[in-house]
Structure 1
Amino acid sequence: MSASISTASVLCPSNEKTSQPDLADDSQSNSNEKLTTLIQDLARAVGVAIDEIDTINARTKLLSLNARIEASRAGAHGAAFGVVAQEIQTLSQKTGAVAEEMASITKSRVDQLMRIIETSIRGVRLSDLALNCVDLIDRNLYERTCDVRWWATDNSVVDALSEPTKQSLEYASQRLGVILDAYTVYFDLVICNRNGIVSANGRKSQFDSIGCNVSASDWYSQAISHSTGNEFGFESAHASELVAQQHSLVYSCSVREQGMATMPTVGVLGAIFNWDGLAKPVLDDLPIAENEQSKTIAYILDTDGNALACRSGTDPLHGTLPRWETIRSGGKGFFIDQYRGRTYCIGYAKAPGFETYSTDWIAVVMQEM
């Protein structure tokens, strides 16, 4: 498997492929901070200028009033001077109106720009969090593909499937149990014969899976059909009957004669991974402020939009998220849109892959605005 300016119009995709915010992200963050500072400085400068205009205008009005009083005292000789005083007062009133309008427009535009910048900073941060989530999951699951291919060559597993006696199967079960004691991320390890029947498992005391027919499962079907033991099979998140319906991923590999990748297949090893044990901490422990916790929703989705995991307290996903085709198209970005009747900033990132492995899954982290 390669298993008018409106904040509602903001759409900012990008194509970063690293698990940590790169220099471009840092540069953008610094640019946003500088821009914010410049806008605030400009707003203050405009405010000071308008205040000075108001001060000058008030003094002009006072002078105009005094001039009119003096013109009135002068009688006919001051008539012309009175006309000038009247015009000065009219001009002063117009200047005051312009200054007031300028102050109102400046405040409105500055507020609007600050909202857009705030949205941009939030969106970049949420998309960074989404990338970190899905990258961490990919890196962890890559190790699972290595585990199952390695354990499929274990002598006890090969012997139990090549010559399935009570003794060989019991020894294989004990050996799988030892592995599980060291690798606690797995629910269980099972070995199946060529007919898809579970012959042994590592946690017999917990899970009664011996005798189960798994021949129709994706993980078994893939592994049994592989041409070499260097390949692995995979079944995505599901409630596995082999481990009491717990939420699992299963990785598999064909078991070969003599443990050699090119020899004939004698069965399949299945490694049943505790999916919630990985996904829940990744989504629940997002590095966000306390006051953002209740407003934050997070999902891990496959390319069909199915929710494989969600943050605790998040309602199950019904239908698709807004702009699903944008999210699914890959890369990393964010946008503002309506979700369940409320406005959200929605950050997303597709798995960049690690080494030769990628789930192609997508993480979405969103916050109510």
Structure 2
Amino acid sequence: MSNTLSRPEESSLKQGAKEKGGSFTLERVAELSEILASKVEAAINEIERLNGQTHMIAINARIEASRAGMAGKAFSVVAEQMNDLSGKIGIVSKKMRNESRGSIDELGNLIKTQATIVRGTRLSDLALTNIDLIDRNLYERSCDVRWWATDDTIVNALHKKSKESFDLVSKRLGIILNSYTVYFDLVLCDLDGNVVANGRPENYKSVGMNVKNTGWFSSAMKTSSGKEFGFQTVSKCPMVNNELSLVFSCTVREHGEQNGPIIGVLGVIFRWEDLAQKIVKGVPIADEEKDKTRICIVDGNGLLLADSKDLVLDDKIEFLGKNELFKEKKGFTISDYDDEKCCVAHAFSTGYETYASGWHSVIVQRLKT
């Protein structure tokens, strides 16, 4: 006969726990063990109180029996037995107190330890899922820009350098954007960093801007071939009215060949919030956990790049033990955060295919005090 509960039986137990005012968690079991300990302690105290009264009655009975002389001899024997019984009850209650308290305390500590491990493991698993989703998505962005940088329309426009050719590029980029709605805009630059065309000129007036000092342009110019890409981390991008963006870039090369001379740079401006905020706010946690949980993506310094509390780029995650935890690929710690005891779970970007963000996924959950 199996000892495993069937799903209906398991559901019945969980429903019973909810009906009695508690959720079906190890933390709740630990609370119940503490309640049990207090009730056992109260019961033993009551036994000792009653035993004390019995002991006093036995003493008084012996005194009265002594005064009665021979007439009280039989009563004296009963009083003596009551006194012996009271002593035995005292020994048993003391033993019960010591043994039950030690066992219940050990049980409670074991449950609390296991509950911490279960919580930390679950939250770090969720953190790993978050950063994996981001890495997989951004890998596609790095592929997009490297592919589009070889487009004939783009390559030819940087050769001709005419208004007509740049207008044609703008239309071509607009067609791409109609299908790839994850981008704010696509921009084409010459070798001097001047934006010569973009795909959404009706929305963003980036043509004529100089971007040679931006991270995405300069990192692209440092690449050795069209197989590589440039990148700029989360920032408010001036080319798209200061929207929170990521920019991937790739050199445009002679004849569209990967190892040809550089003739320009293509940048793709990604809608970061649409991806990141959806991920951190869509983590599957219970409703009762949401108010005490912060879910975020941070860089190596703890700067918030995505945040369930909507403080992107305006706050940092700091807690005791952060540097040690961030050295691990995945794990958790119990630490003080904002003056409260919290479980801080973490997962580092493991990357996907040829891309790795190098960021950290963090989930901070406040513990009951």
Q: TM-score, length-normalised on structure 1?
A: 0.79
Partner in structure 1 of residue 332 of structure 2:
334
Structure 2 counterparts to residues 134-283 of structure 1, below 5 A: 134-283=131-280
Q: 1:354 aligns with which of 348, 352, 355?
A: 352
Q: Structure 1 307/77 Cα, relative in aligned 2: closer, same or farther at 3 Å? A: closer
Preserved CA contact (<8 Å) 1:190 1:201: yes
Are residues 147 and 199 of structure 1, via their aligned partners in 2, closer, same or farther at CA, if it must alter by over 3 Å?
same
Q: Which moved more, 1:323-332 or 1:84-93?
A: 84-93
Counterparts of 1:244-323 in structure 2, within 5 Å, are: 244-313=241-310, 316-318=314-316, 320-323=318-321
What amino acid does structure 2 have at the position aligned with 1:330? E
- Residues of 1 paired with 2:29 and 2:238: CA distance? 58
Could you report, residue by residue, the CA deviation over 1:106-141 in whole angstroms, capped at 9, with x for unpaired residues? 444333333322222211111111111111000000
Given that 1:297 and 1:314 are in contact with CA atoms closer than 8 Å, whether structure 2 keeps it comes out as no
- Cα displacement (A) at 1:334: 1.0
CA–CA distance in structure 2, aligned partners of residues 93 and 313 of structure 1: 62
How far apart are the structure 1 equivalents of 2:232 and 2:177? 20
Long gaps (5+) in structure 1: 1-32
Change (3 A) 1:100 1:334: same
AA at the equivalent of 2:283: L
Do the aligned partners of 2:325 and 2:333 also contact (CA within 8 Å) in 1? no
1:112 equivalenced with 2:85 (yes/no): no
Contact 1:134–1:362 (8 Å) recurs in 2: yes
Aligned partners of 1:280 and 1:312 also within 8 Å? no
Shift of 1:304: 2.4
- Alignment identity in percent? 36
Tell me what 2:9 maps to: none
AA in 2 matched with 1:320: E
**Counterpart amino acid of 2:231?**
F
Q: Letter of the aligned partner of 1:301 in structure 2?
A: V
Helix, strand or coil: the match of 1:347? strand
Is residue 94 from structure 1 mapped to residue 91 from structure 2 by the alignment? yes
Give, in whole Å, the separation in 2 of the partners of 1:298 and 1:349.
12
The one-letter code matched in structure 2 to 1:249 is L
Q: Is the 8 A contact 1:240 1:246 kept in 2?
A: yes
Q: Give the superposed CA RMSD.
A: 3.8
CA distance in 2, matches of 1:243, 1:330: 36
Runs of 5+ in structure 2 lacking a partner?
Answer: 1-24
Q: TM-score, normalised by structure 2?
A: 0.79
The alpha-carbon deviation at position 98 of structure 1 amounts to: 2.5
In structure 2, C-alpha distance between the alignment counterparts of 1:201 and 1:321, rounded to whole Å:
43
Which secondary structure does the structure 2 equivalent of 1:169 belong to? helix
Matched residue SS, 2:231: strand
CA offsets, 1:222-259, max 9 Å, x none?
21222211110011011111111111111000001111
2:320–2:336 CA contact under 8 A, matched in 1: yes
Contact 2:340 2:366 (8 Å CA) reproduced: yes
Distance in 1 (alpha carbons) for counterparts of 2:359 and 2:223: 24
AA at the equivalent of 1:226 = T
Task: Quote the Cα distance in structure 2 between the aligned partners of 1:330 and 1:103.
Answer: 40
Cα distance, 1:176 vs structure 2: 0.4
